[in-house]
Amino acid sequence: MDSDEALGCIYRVGFAITWLLVFLCCWIYCISTYGFLLGVGLGWLPSAIVATIAAALWPILIIVGIKLFL
């Protein structure tokens, strides 16, 4: 495995973890804000969109987080 494959693997793992965490947090927010029926029934769509955008940018989010807290 060369360095490009290793970086690709790290990116994919980070993408998956970030997507899952952001999706669950956004979905729970939709459920608490719009009620159980609308939140569970329709809240998954905006949650998936936000999670995909955040997961695609997870390296930038990590860098910004480190700069803010250090």
pTM: 0.85
**pLDDT (mean) for 30-54:** 95
Of 31, 65, 43, which Cα lies nearest the Cα of 14? 65
Residue 26's domain spans which residues? 3-69
Number of structural domains found in the chain? 1
Task: Please give the residue that has the higher pLDDT: either 43 or 61.
Answer: 43
pLDDT reading at 12 higher than 80: yes
What is the spatial distance between Cα 39 and Cα 63, in angstroms, rounded to a whole number? 32
Contact 52, 19 (CB under 8 A): yes
